[in-house]
């Protein structure tokens, strides 16, 4: 079959890329080979637009065992315990079929984690939907949330945190990012690198069907009117089978049967086999007629490009096949030796003894295109003067409006659909700055958070990139965790547009700066480009998944007020920055202006002193100040505890709106016992850290000077309203 221009285009390849393929092969590829190339060379697998820039991110500190490049990152938390984690997007599939798209997103990221030998212990997610008035939003929200819950609940891994946001830039392209976190014995981490020639290559898990053929290419293609036609490619998830696969793999991992193991994710059998061979500097030969198929008459092309879920590829040590098969039989899963490793450095695909494809592994991996795409700096906007003069709402009405807004509403409608406690180690659930998950049977825990700030990043990516790393760091600090490292998912628009490419480059620059300064490296991640439709791109949305360590379970904190009569302090200086804040968005309906700046020095100092307070048991509650400013942080501390507060703005300070709604960075609110006040002030002054004493806690009423006074129950009602009425 002659490969026409039309076929090339359908495979998401450019003409010059096709020429490059022909040159690498010294001939034109056949259709199967073209399919394999298209899967490996697309953005999703090759990172061709982002690779050059991702390299700039710091990836090491004293905790990192494995940085980016493997299925997931690995960090050392002592006593031979390792934490394995990664975040990944499933944006396009979730837009097309929200339940299955989100469910298989969770399934996929879980496999990334347990393929490394870790038992998954927590799930988190970051969800961005379109405007609430968009007619698709409601069903997408419903479908995605139940899909995430459906998968995680069934497999029995707690979903402990996440974020749910609405903005019109996601109207035609929602974001569904899922993060999985696992626990492993540091001495038994499994990698994808193949070793040895003539070793058995084993297919395990579910059968291969026609699901998601070309899903990987779809995931990196811009949507257009025709994307409806691409619909049948969405995969269906089977969490029950994944649970079996998880248990079977972990059982097989107990001894030394496995040389290497790799899940079949995007581009299924193709990417898993190529990756294993490439990392080992080997070749691989597969007999495709042996692949367990769900449907009759599946072609080699379909088998290689199928994205059926719940499958793994394993390379076994000699003589281990029989025992391994017994394990998979016990769990009612397919187990078939479908090929072997070779020393040819080629991917050789046979079907009934006939060679159907023969491709040098390098052509598919290291020789895949890498682009230094054109990019343009984003111009930093000027600060708006006298924003507050335009306010036409009272202080009280502004608070009410924000409490009722979809983005600031209580998210329990979402989180109640997730089993948060299964495995019985969730010490702090969703709704906190970070979740805390105990290491089973040990006196230590990890803290987990997922954060994004698309408005900030859209306004000025360099600051946004820094800010989002700092926010993650702050959320970990707030619960008493030592921040260790992050994973990230970079959701951006079309990189062929220099402005969008500029957003990506500068966001990464910003992230790099913060990661370096805070010793908070990136150990894994994912890039999702081409998010947008017909040239309308989403806001740049990097999502950061942070992991911190808690070495003493008695030295943790949360944001709920604990008792009446204690003192409330704001740590860090308030300048009253209103541009790009919830306030300017919701109340002033303003879209422009710069985001609040990040001062890394203050960020670090303020965070370290909070950490120190928690370790010294000096604080009753801690909450970082993020979107919505001091007022929203205080309200959350009250609403979630049922304990009120009486607050007054510091004298000679800013205007009330600026003080309470400003989103200056690097700040925390703490609740302390009166008798600890002197000690705390002394420590703050010794470190020259600015703080404001703003009030004290009281029973069931939230009060701000003369302008605001409300029962906590009523505030909760208001805050819980939106989701339940949508």
Partner 1 sequence: MKVAVTITLKKDVLDPQGKVVLHTLQNMGMKTLSNIRQGKYFEIEIEETNQEIVKKDVDSMCKKLLANLIIEDYKIDII
Partner 2 sequence: MRSTVIVFPGSNCDRDIAVALKKLQFKNEMVWHKDSELPKSDLIVIPGGFSYGDYLRSGAIAAKSTILKEVIKSAERGCLILGVCNGFQILIETGLLKGALLRNKNLKFINDDVYLKVNNKNRFCKKYSNNQIIKLNIAHNEGNYFTSSDHVKNMQDQELIAFQYSNNKGDVNEDYNPNGSMANIAGILNEKKNILGMMPHPERMTDKLIVNEDGLGLFSSILN
Ligand X SMILES: Nc1ncnc2c1ncn2[C@@H]1O[C@H](COP(=O)(O)OP(=O)(O)O)[C@@H](O)[C@H]1O
Residues that bind Mg ion (CB under 5 A): 433, 475, 626
CA distance linking residue 349 with residue 292, whole number of Å? 15
At 493, give phi and psi (nearest 5°): -85, -145
417 binds, among ligand X, partner 2, Mg ion, none (CB under 5 to 8 A by kind): partner 2
Per CB under 8 A, which region of 232-240, 451-459, 682-690, 692-700 contacts partner 2? Answer: 232-240
Instruction: Kindly tell me which of 271 and 478 has the beta carbon lying closer to ligand X.
Output: 478
In sequence order, what DSSP letters do the residues of 230-244 get, joined into one string?
GGGG-----HHHHHH
Active site residue 90: yes
Per CB under 8 A, which region of 155-163, 203-211, 321-329, 711-719 contacts partner 1? Answer: 203-211
Q: Which of residues 328-367 bind partner 1 (CB under 8 A)?
A: 332
For position 153 contacting partner 2 by CB under 8 A, the verdict is: yes
For position 726 contacting partner 1 by CB under 8 A, the verdict is: no
CA distance linking residue 85 with residue 448, whole number of Å? 10
Q: In whole angstroms, how far apart are CA 376 and each of 191, 490, 500, 504, 568?
A: 38, 18, 8, 10, 45
294 binds, among Mg ion, partner 1, partner 2, none (CB under 5 to 8 A by kind): partner 1
Using the rule CB under 8 A, which residue among 122, 201, 219, 234 binds partner 1?
234
H or E segment at 283?
Answer: strand 283-287
Question: CA nearest 599: which of 627, 568, 575, 582?
Answer: 575
For position 427 contacting partner 2 by CB under 8 A, the verdict is: yes
Q: Is residue 357 a contact partner of residue 349, using CB atoms and an 8 Å limit? A: yes
Catalytic residue among 90, 128, 214, 623: 90
For position 287 contacting partner 1 by CB under 8 A, the verdict is: no
Tally Cβ neighbours within 10 Å of residue 546.
30
CA distance linking residue 319 with residue 317, whole number of Å? 6
Instruction: Kindly tell me which of 99 and 583 has the beta carbon lying closer to partner 1.
Output: 99
438 binds, among partner 1, partner 2, ligand X, none (CB under 5 to 8 A by kind): partner 2
For position 692 contacting partner 1 by CB under 8 A, the verdict is: no
In 117-139, which positions are buried (b, 16+ CB within 10 angstroms) versus exposed (e)?
bbbbbbbbbbbbbbebeeeebee
Q: Is 367 helix (H, G, I), strand (E, B) or coil?
A: coil
Using the rule CB under 6 A, which residue among 415, 491, 656, 665 binds ligand X?
415
Instruction: Kindly tell me which of 173 and 453 has the beta carbon lying closer to ligand X.
Output: 453
CA distance linking residue 212 with residue 214, whole number of Å? 6
Using the rule CB under 8 A, which residue among 423, 568, 639, 647 binds partner 2?
423
For position 88 contacting partner 1 by CB under 8 A, the verdict is: no
95 binds, among ligand X, Mg ion, partner 1, none (CB under 5 to 8 A by kind): none
CA distance linking residue 72 with residue 525, whole number of Å? 8
Instruction: Kindly tell me which of 500 and 614 has the beta carbon lying closer to partner 2.
Output: 614
Using the rule CB under 6 A, which residue among 44, 279, 373, 411 binds ligand X?
411
Instruction: Kindly tell me which of 92 and 474 has the beta carbon lying closer to ligand X.
Output: 474
For position 238 contacting partner 1 by CB under 8 A, the verdict is: yes
Q: In whole angstroms, how far apart are CA 306 and each of 101, 294, 302, 562?
A: 15, 11, 6, 53
For position 150 contacting partner 2 by CB under 8 A, the verdict is: yes
CA distance linking residue 108 with residue 527, whole number of Å? 15
Using the rule CB under 8 A, which residue among 114, 170, 223, 331 binds partner 2?
331
335 binds, among Mg ion, partner 1, partner 2, none (CB under 5 to 8 A by kind): none
397: DSSP letter: H
Catalytic residue among 11, 44, 128, 214: 44
Ranges assigned E (strand) in 95-174:
119-129, 159-166
**Shortest spacing between CB 561 and partner 2, in angstroms:** 18
For position 235 contacting partner 1 by CB under 8 A, the verdict is: yes
At a CB cut-off of 8 Å and minimum separation 6, what does 708 contact? 395, 396, 399, 702
Using the rule CB under 8 A, which residue among 76, 131, 185, 247 binds partner 2?
247
Beta pairing, strands 311-316 & 621-624: unpaired
Using the rule CB under 8 A, which residue among 172, 211, 451, 663 binds partner 1?
211
For position 132 contacting partner 1 by CB under 8 A, the verdict is: no
Q: Which of residues 596-655 bind partner 1 (CB under 8 A)?
A: none
Number of C-alpha atoms within 13 angstroms, CB side, residue 129? 24
**Angle formed at CA 330 by CA 329 and CA 332, multiple of 5 degrees:** 60
If binding means CB under 6 A, how many residues of this protein chain bind ligand X?
16
Q: Is residue 495 a contact partner of residue 373, using CB atoms and an 8 Å limit? A: yes
307 binds, among partner 2, partner 1, Mg ion, none (CB under 5 to 8 A by kind): none
For position 100 contacting partner 1 by CB under 8 A, the verdict is: yes
Using the rule CB under 8 A, which residue among 15, 23, 231, 330 binds partner 1?
231
In 347-364, which positions are buried (b, 16+ CB within 10 angstroms) versus exposed (e)?
bbbbbeeeebbbbbbbbb
Instruction: Kindly tell me which of 99 and 278 has the beta carbon lying closer to partner 2.
Output: 99
Question: CA nearest 338: which of 313, 306, 361, 355?
Answer: 313
For position 627 contacting ligand X by CB under 6 A, the verdict is: yes
The residues of the shown chain that bind ligand X, judged by CB under 6 A, are 125, 127, 159, 161-164, 411, 414-415, 430-432, 451, 626-627
User: Which residues does the annotation mark as catalytic?
Assistant: 44, 90
List interacting residues with partner 2 (CB under 8 A). Answer: 146, 149-150, 153-156, 238-241, 243-244, 247, 331-332, 415-427, 438, 553
Residues that bind partner 1 (CB under 8 A): 96-97, 99-100, 206, 209-211, 231-232, 234-238, 240-241, 294-295, 308-309, 332
């Amino acid at each position: 079959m002659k490969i026409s221009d039309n076929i090339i285009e359908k495979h998401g390849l450019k003409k010059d890329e096709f020429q490059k393929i022909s040159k690498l092969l010294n001939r034109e590829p056949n259709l199967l080979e073209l399919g394999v190339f298209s899967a490996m060379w697309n953005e999703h697998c090759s990172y061709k637009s982002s690779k050059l820039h991702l390299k700039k991110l710091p990836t090491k500190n004293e905790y990192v065992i494995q940085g980016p490049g493997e299925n997931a990152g690995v960090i050392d938390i002592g006593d031979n315990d390792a934490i394995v984690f990664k975040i990944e997007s499933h944006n396009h599939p979730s837009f097309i079929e929200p339940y299955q798209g989100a469910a298989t997103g969770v399934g996929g990221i879980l496999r990334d984690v347990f393929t490394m030998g870790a038992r998954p212990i927590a799930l988190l997610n970051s969800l961005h939907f379109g405007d609430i008035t968009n007619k698709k939003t409601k069903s997408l929200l419903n479908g995605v949330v139940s899909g995430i819950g459906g998968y995680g609940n069934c497999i029995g891994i707690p979903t402990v945190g996440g974020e749910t946001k609405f903005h019109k830039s996601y109207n035609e392209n929602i974001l569904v990012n899922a993060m999985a976190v696992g626990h492993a014995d540091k001495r038994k981490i499994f990698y994808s690198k193949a070793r040895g020639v003539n070793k058995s290559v084993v297919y395990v898990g579910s059968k291969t069907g026609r699901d998601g053929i070309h899903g990987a290419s779809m995931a990196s293609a811009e949507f257009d009117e025709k994307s409806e036609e691409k619909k049948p490619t969405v995969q269906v998830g089977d969490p029950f089978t994944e649970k079996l696969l998880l248990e079977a793999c972990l059982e097989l991992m107990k001894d030394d049967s496995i040389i290497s193991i790799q899940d079949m994710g995007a581009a299924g059998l193709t990417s898993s086999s190529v990756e294993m061979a490439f990392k080992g500097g080997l070749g691989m030969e597969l007999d495709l007629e042996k692949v367990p198929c769900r449907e009759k008459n599946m072609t080699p092309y379909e088998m290689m490009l199928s994205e059926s879920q719940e499958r793994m590829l394993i390379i076994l040590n000699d003589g281990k096949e029989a025992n391994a098969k017994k394990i998979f039989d016990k769990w009612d899963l397919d187990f078939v030796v479908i090929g072997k490793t070779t020393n040819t450095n080629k991917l050789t695909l046979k079907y009934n003894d006939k060679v159907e494809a023969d491709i040098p592994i390098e052509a598919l991996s290291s020789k895949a295109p890498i682009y230094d795409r054109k990019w343009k700096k984003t111009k930093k906007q000027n600060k708006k003067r006298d924003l507050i003069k335009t306010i036409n709402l009272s202080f009280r009405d502004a608070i009410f409006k924000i409490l009722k807004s979809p983005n600031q509403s209580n998210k329990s409608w979402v989180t109640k659909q997730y089993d948060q406690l299964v495995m019985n180690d969730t010490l702090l659930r969703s709704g906190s700055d970070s979740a805390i998950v105990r290491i089973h049977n040990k006196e230590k825990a990890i803290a987990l958070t997922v954060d994004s700030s698309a408005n900030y990043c859209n306004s000025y990516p360099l600051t946004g990139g820094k800010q989002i790393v700092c926010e993650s760091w702050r959320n970990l600090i707030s619960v008493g965790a030592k921040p260790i490292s992050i994973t990230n998912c970079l959701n951006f628009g079309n990189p062929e547009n220099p402005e969008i490419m500029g957003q990506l480059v500068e966001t990464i620059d910003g992230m790099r700066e913060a990661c370096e300064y805070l010793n908070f490296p990136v150990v894994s991640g994912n890039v999702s480009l081409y998010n947008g439709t017909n040239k309308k791109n989403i806001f740049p949305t990097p999502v950061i998944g942070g992991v911190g360590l808690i070495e003493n379970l008695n030295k943790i904190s949360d944001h709920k007020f604990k008792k009446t009569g204690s003192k409330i302090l704001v740590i860090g200086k308030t300048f009253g920055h209103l541009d790009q804040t919830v306030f300017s968005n919701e109340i002033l309906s303003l879209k422009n202006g710069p985001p609040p700046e990040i001062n890394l020095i203050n960020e670090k100092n303020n965070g370290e002193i909070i950490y120190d307070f928690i370790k010294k048991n000096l604080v009753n509650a801690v909450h970082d100040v993020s979107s919505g400013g001091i007022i929203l942080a205080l309200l959350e501390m009250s609403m979630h505890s049922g304990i009120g507060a009486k607050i007054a703005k510091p004298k000679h300070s800013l205007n009330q709106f600026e003080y309470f709604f400003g989103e200056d960075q690097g700040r925390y609110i703490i609740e302390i016992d009166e008798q600890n006040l002197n000690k705390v002030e002394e420590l703050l002054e010794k470190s020259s850290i600015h703080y404001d004493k703003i009030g004290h806690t009281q029973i069931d009423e939230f009060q701000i000077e003369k302008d605001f006074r409300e029962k906590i129950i009523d505030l909760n009602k208001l805050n819980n309203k939106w989701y339940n009425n949508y």
